Structure 1
Amino acid sequence: MKLYNIPASPFAARVRILLRAKGQTMEMLTPPAPAEFRQITPLGKVPALVRDDGSVLPESEVICHYLDDTLPGPKLYPVDTDARVASELIVRLADLYFAVPLSDFFTQLFTAPDDRAAMQAIIPDIARGLKYLDLHVGQDGFAAAGRFTHADCALPPMLFYAGGMLSAVAGDDLMAKRLRLAAYWQAIQQQPAVSAVLDEMRQALKKYQSKLQAGQ
C-alpha cells in the first residue's frame, strides 16, 4: 500500500501517527497537480490510500480504521463499547467543531492575510471547538479510554495549529484557557509516534515559510 501525503496536513499526519504507533511504514507519494489528482481520487484531497488491489481509499478517519484492521500492531480502535464511544467522540468533536473553523481561518490567512477582521471573526468558532474538546478529553495523558487510541492520532496534529498565527490574531493563547486540553497537549507530545510526526509537520512548515520569503 501507498499513501498520498502532504507532510503539513493534519489529516495526513493522523494516518502517519497511526502507522508509527502500530510500528508500520508505508511509501509516501506526493500528490500530482490538482486536475490529475482528481483522476486518482475524485475528492482531490490528502490523505488518499492506494490499496494493494489498486483501489484508492479517501478520508483520513476511514483510512485509519482500515489500516488498524488490516495491519499488524496494537489495535488503536477500542473494542470495549465505553472506550470506543469515548475515543470516537473526541474525533467527532475535533473534525466537526475544531477542524472546520481552523481550516476556514488558514484559508483566510493564505488568501487574504491583510484582512485581520475576517480572521478575527472566525476565532469564536475555533474557541468553541476547543471548549467542547476540553469538556471531554481524558485527564490521564491520553485523549480517551485511558490509553493511546485513534483519538490520539487525530487530535494532536490539529492542536499543533492552535498556536502561532492563530494566537497572534486572537490576542492570547486560546488553549491556555482550557486546562484539561492544555495538559493533554503537553503530555501527548511525549509519545514517540506523536512527537516524530509533529517534527515532520514543523519541518514542512519551515520549508513552506522559506519559499514564501524567497518569493517576496
Structure 2
Amino acid sequence: MITLHGFAASNYYNLVKHVLLHKEIPFQENLVYPSSDELLAVSPVGKVPAITMPDGFDLSESSVICDFIEESYPYTPLYPSDAKERATIRQIMKIAELYFELPSRRLIPFTFSGTPVPKPIAIEVRQVLERGIIALNSLSQFSPWIAGEQFTMADIYVYYVNTIVSSFAVKQLEWDIMAQISGMTEWNKTMRDSDIAKQVDVGRLTNMPEFMQYVQAQIKAVHTK
C-alpha cells in the first residue's frame, strides 16, 4: 500500500490525496511535518508531501508524484490522450503554481504573525497575480471543467492552489481574485462541493489545530535564537 507522508493542512498534500482518492488507490497516511528527520528520510529537501510505494520507492514534489501516480495507475485517467491537450493541462497547472500559488505564499508569514503586509510586497504580489489572471482567463474554459469537457489533473491542481490564494492573498489584499477569471468562482464551488473535496477538507480541519501549534512553535524558536 502507498504511504502518503505529510500533514492535512498542506494544500499540496491534499492535492496528492485527492488524486489518490479519485483513482481509488489504497493508501495510508503518515503525519509528519517539514524538515523532520522522518520526512528527510523520504523527501530529500524535507518538503511535504512525499510518498513511499509498496516496494520502498520514495518520491517527493507534488507535481512529480501526481505524474508518477498517473503513469503507474493509468485507469481513471486525469490527462487527455492527445499530446497537445496534455501540454495545455500542464501549462494551466504551471501558471497556477507560478502566478497564483507562489506569490500568495509570500503573504503567509504576515498572516501567521499578525503583522501588516509591507506596501511594496503587496504591490509586487498583486502584479504577479494580475499576470496569472490574464493567463488563466486565456487558457481556462470551465465547460464544465477548467480545460473543457474532461475532468483532469488541472482541476485538482488549480483547486488546491486556490486554497492558498483564498486563504492569504484574497484576505491580505482585500481582493476577490477568483472573480477576475470568468467562470472560476462557480467552478471552484463545484469542486468544493464534491464528495472527495469534502472528505479531504475534513482531514484539513482536523489537522489544523495541531498544525497551528507547530507553526507557533516554529515562530517562537526563531524569535528566541
TM-score (norm 1): 0.84
Cross-structure match for 1:18: 19
User: Where in structure 2 are the equivalents of 1:3-152 lying within 5 Å?
Assistant: 3-31=4-32, 34-36=35-37, 37-71=39-73, 73-110=75-112, 112-117=113-118, 120-121=122-123, 122-152=125-155
Range with greater deviation from structure 2 (28-37 or 152-161): 28-37
In the alignment, which residue of structure 1 is the partner of 2:158? 155
Between the two proteins, the alignment pairs up a number of residues equal to 214
2: CA distance between counterparts of 1:134 and 1:206?
Answer: 36
1:197 aligns with 2:200: yes
SS in 2 for 1:163: helix
Cα distance between partner residues in 1 of 2:31 and 2:213: 19
Question: In the superposition, relative to structure 1, how do residues 166 and 199 fare at CA in structure 2: closer, same or farther (>3 Å)?
Answer: farther
Is the contact made by 2:35 and 2:45 (CA closer than 8 Å) also made in structure 1? no
Deviations 1:10-61 (A, max 9, x none): 1111111111111223111122672413243221101111122222111111
| Cα offsets for 1:163-195 (capped at 9, x unmatched) | 244323212312222223223212322333233
Compared with structure 1, are the counterparts of its residues 71 and 97 closer, same or farther at alpha carbon in structure 2 (3 Å cutoff)? same
Cα RMSD after superposing both structures? 2.8
Q: Structure 1 residues 205 and 179, CA, compared in 2 at 3 Å: closer, same or farther?
A: farther
Matching residue's letter, 1:116: V
Identity rate, percent: 22
CA contact (8 A) 1:2 1:49 kept: yes
Gaps of 5+ in 1: none
CA distance in 2, matches of 1:25, 1:155: 24
Identify unmatched segments of 5+ residues in structure 2: 217-225
